[in-house]
Structures are given as C-alpha cells and as structure tokens.
Amino acid sequence: MVKFKMFFLKFLILSTLILVVWIYIGRFYQDLVLVFSKPILILMGYERFIPALRLGDAYLVNFNLVPFFALILSIDLEIKKRLKLTIFGFILLFFTHCLDLIAHFPAVFNRSEFALAVVVSLPILNFGVPFLIWMMWIVKTLEHVL
C-alpha cells in the first residue's frame, strides 16, 4: 500500500508539473492536430468553414496528454519500454484528437447523427484511453506498485 501511495503522489506531482508546461506548449499541439486534420476536412468539403475555426484555448480542456505522460513517468519502466509506450500512446491519442476535431464539422454543419455520436462519445473515450494504454503496457510492473 505504501508503494501505491508513493506512486499516486508521484503521479499527482508530475501531472501538476506537466500541466504547467502544457499551458505553454499545448497550443502548438492543438495547431498540429489542425494541420493533420485540415486535408481530411478539405476532402470532406469543409474548406470554407476552416478559416472560421477558432479553437482558442481548447487545448487546456480537450486533450489528455498530461495524465498520459504523468502515468508513464510515474512508474519505473526500462527506457526502451517507456519509449515504446510513449510513441504508441502519443500516436493513438493524436489520431483520436484528430478524429474528434474532424467529427465536429459534419456534426455541426450537416447535423450528422453519426458524427454527433462520435463527438459525444470521444470525450468519454479520451478520458479513459491514457489509462487503458498505460495499463495495457505495464500490467506486470503494476503488480509491484499495488
């Protein structure tokens, strides 16, 4: 139980520190999501709506990379495994963030029920995905923490 308390304390401290950094760099990540989503939005015929897109400070609430990175850093993993987990998780989360942005367009402009279902379900999915990715990779290591 002591190990778990230490893990949790480390996770909270790292989450706070990463959030402070995220406040300054999150906008660049948000712009990267838009850059990758833009060609798909153009192919879908939403080119005229893209200039009106104002994401503002959406990166402060929409993206779940802060707990993901805090989880990775909170547990002892060999560097190779930590790197694989970071790359795999980042790519998966990045694509879910792109999907989220892309789905908003048909949901808003075409009132697509399917796109709206995606938009409504992704925040729930995005909340749990960092923990699922982390758990999937560190099950054996987790036994030592609990």
Q: Could you say which DSSP state residue 55 is in? A: -
User: Quick one: pLDDT at residue 17?
Assistant: 95
Phi/psi for 44 (5° steps) reads -80, -5
Write out pLDDT tens, residues 90-132. Answer: 998 899 889 988 998 999 888 989 988 888 888 777 777 777 7
Tokens 């495994």, located at residue: 81
Q: Which domain holds residue 31?
A: 2-145
Write out pLDDT tens, residues 15-53. Answer: 999 999 998 888 888 889 999 999 999 999 998 888 777
The torsion defined by the Cα of 57, 59, 60 and 62, in degrees rounded to 10, comes to 120
Question: Comparing 7-11, 67-71, 118-122, which segment has the lowest mean pLDDT?
Answer: 118-122
Q: What's the total number of domains in the chain?
A: 1
Question: Comparing 72-76, 122-126, 131-135, 140-144, which segment has the lowest mean pLDDT?
Answer: 140-144
Please report which confidence band the pLDDT of residue 57 belongs to, taking 50, 70 and 90 as the band edges.
low
Residue 134's alpha-carbon distances to 16, 58, 82, 118, in angstroms, are 18, 24, 10, 23
- Work out the burial of residue 26: count CB atoms within 10 Å of its CB; fewer than 13 is exposed, 13-18 middle, 19 or more buried: buried
User: Quick one: pLDDT at residue 137?
Assistant: 67
- Cα gap 82→125, rounded to integer Å: 23
